[in-house]
Amino acid sequence: MTSFLILLSVLGTAFLSAVFGMAGGLILMGVLAALLPVSTAMVTHGAVQSVSNGWRAILLRRFILWRALGIYAIGAAIAAAGLASVSVILPRAWLFIVLGLVPALVWLPKERLHLDARRPAHAVACGFLVTGLNVVAGVSGPLLDVFFQNAEADRRAIVATKAATQVAAHGVKIAYYVGPALAAGVGPPVWLLAAAAPLAILGTTLGSRVLHRLSDADFRNWTKRIVTAIGAIYIMRGLILLAG
């Protein structure tokens, strides 16, 4: 039953991610954190999201902001090097609370924050901070969005470039957690990851068709509403676990 729920979640959240860029990954992380040990959830989420984001980046490859992506990779590499010397695995309750707080970043005032992932210094900071948050919380989409909300690009360029950056971020996360997961004997079954991959691709393909029909305004407004609602649910879940 657990495997069925995970595979169903992979399909549905890949669809959402293809449309809104971040909501699907946030939901999937919550589902996996509820069903699996934290290190296993991180590895599974990273593997599935790498496929989903990778396929989305391939589908929208002509829209990718390649210069911004290359500079982002510099910051991501710095974060990966720093994380190699520390070990941080949050308890389940605090993982949900941190997951719930991450979406609040989408409400940071655009007029006061002039971050733009197309600027070199901002792109390096984006790579460093997004990769770090992705390892600790499992997701970093809302923070990534802060760096893209002022970018002069349409929704397809934003989704495509964010997808490409997330492949790198999830790769670092897998490398960080796979050792503890295997050491504890709770590594994700290979068959489950193999079954999840085509579902992630299918959901991403279907969602990409919907993305092309959305206006830029609808894309941004619905993304904020969805991730905020998810965040509130996660915070309540974490507080309940702490109280119990």
pLDDT of residue 56: 83
What number of CA atoms fall less than 13 Å from residue 75's CA on the CB side? 25
What number of CA atoms fall less than 13 Å from residue 15's CA on the CB side? 10
pLDDT of residue 16: 85
Closest CA to 3 of 210, 223, 189: 189
Look up the pTM and report it.
0.86
pLDDT of residue 22: 66
Residues 6 or more apart whose Cβ sits within 8 Å of residue 77: 127
pLDDT of residue 9: 93
pLDDT of residue 1: 76
pLDDT of residue 110: 67
Mean pLDDT for the chain overall: 88
Q: Are 46 and 173 in contact (CB under 8 A)?
A: yes
pLDDT by position in tens, the chain (length 244): 789 999 999 999 888 877 876 678 888 999 999 999 999 999 999 999 898 889 889 988 999 999 999 999 999 999 999 998 888 889 999 999 998 898 888 787 766 777 888 899 999 999 999 999 999 999 888 788 788 877 778 878 888 999 899 999 999 999 999 999 999 898 889 999 999 999 989 988 888 888 777 777 777 777 778 888 888 999 999 999 998 7
